[in-house]
Each structure stands twice: as structure tokens, then as C-alpha cells.
Amino acid sequence: MKNIWKYVIIILSAIVVDQLTKGILLYLITGTVPLFGAAWDIVPVPYLMTQVCDFFNIVFTWNPGASFSMLRTVGEVAPIIIISATAFIIGLITYYLFARAPGYERAPLALIVGGAIGNLVDRVRFGAVVDFLDFHVGGWHWPAFNIADMCIVIGVAWLILNFILARRRCVCASQTTKNGKK
């Protein structure tokens, strides 16, 4: 595969930016960046850091569930289930990315893999993921999220958009061929 390093750089950039922002938040709250530990022993939550504007706060919270707080109520086995499932899915996507994916799928998949690894690092280190971006309207809050979650969501949206555009190009090309214009 040509330009494999381009996708490795996307993956590593997503991980580094995610872990750097989470590390800065941990440092601002605790005065240190712990390498490992039980999440709630490090920082009790929720911890309001600052209100940025009327609809956005920077908070600090631990998410023991999946993206956007899903699976939060599964209990003590949740970290093991989520870590195992995440590692397996990362492996599948990474294999597909580097071995089989068409060109238009590679950058979005790299962004998804980088985001998933960023959250996996937190789960292995702390048993939960650091979330800190809090958007709200009045009293209604979107579940707090982080840079890794953003990478995953943007990667999925980009992948869907690329898929739609690729199908559209394919349909247009087949119609042109059928009409004898090619």
C-alpha cells in the first residue's frame, strides 16, 4: 500500500492530541498526570472546570461506559467487556485499513482507529475514559465527550459521506456507459 505513513500519522496524531488534552486537564486538577490508577481515586466527579460560554462548559468526568456514556450501567464487568471488544474492533478495522480498504476509506478509518485507541488507553490506565467537553441548551446537556470521541464521530461521518459520493460516482459512470457516451 502506498503512503502507509500518512495513515499512521493520522492515527498517532489523534492519539497524541486526545491524550495531551486529557493530560492537561488531569494536571490542572491534580497537579500531576497519573500513569495508572482507579479513576475515582484520582479525581472525584463531576468537576466543573469553567464555563466557556452560555452553551459550552469544560468539565471533568469519568465515563466507565462506551462512547457518549453508553453501557454506563453494565456494572463491574463493563471495563473488561469494553476493553476486549474495543481491542478486537480496533484490530479488525486496522487490518481492513491497511490490507483491503479502498483509498477513499483509509483516512476516515485511520481517524476512527486513532480515536478508539485514545479511549482504549484511558480504559487500560484508569478503568474509565476522561470526558470534558460539555455542550448544553438550558438545563439539557449532551453527554460529555472528548477528542477521541470527536475523531470517531468525524471519521464515521466522513466514511459515510465518502461511501455515498463513491456510489454516486459509480451510478453516474454506469449510466454514462449505458448511454454510450463513454
pLDDT, one tens digit per residue, over 113-145 is 999 999 999 999 998 899 999 999 988 988 899
DSSP string over 52-78: EETTEEEEEEEE-SSGGGTTTTS-TTH
- Report the 10 Å Cβ neighbour count for 85: 12
Domain of residue 95: give its range. Answer: 4-178
Predicted local distance difference test score (pLDDT) of residue 63 = 85
Predicted local distance difference test score (pLDDT) of residue 69 = 56
Q: Total structural domains in the chain? A: 1
The answer to whether 29 and 132 are in contact (CB under 8 A) is: no
Predicted local distance difference test score (pLDDT) of residue 71 = 61
CA separation for the pair 43, 67 (Å, rounded): 20
Question: Catalytic residue positions?
Answer: 131, 149
Q: Report residues of the chain scoring pLDDT below 50.
A: none
Predicted local distance difference test score (pLDDT) of residue 173 = 63
φ, ψ of residue 77 in degrees (nearest 5): -80, -10
The answer to whether 137 and 130 are in contact (CB under 8 A) is: no
Predicted local distance difference test score (pLDDT) of residue 169 = 77
The answer to whether 170 and 133 are in contact (CB under 8 A) is: no
* Residue among 63, 43, 76, 55 at smallest CA distance from 138: 55
pTM of the complete model beyond 0.75: yes
Predicted local distance difference test score (pLDDT) of residue 12 = 98
What residues have CB less than 8 Å from 51, skipping those under 6 apart? Answer: 57
C-alpha cell of residue 90: 480496533
Largest CA distance in the chain: 70
Predicted local distance difference test score (pLDDT) of residue 4 = 92
Strands (E) in 54-173, as ranges, are 56-63, 129-137, 140-141
- Based on its alpha-carbon atoms, the radius of gyration of the chain, rounded to whole angstroms, reads 20
C-alpha cell of residue 28: 490542572
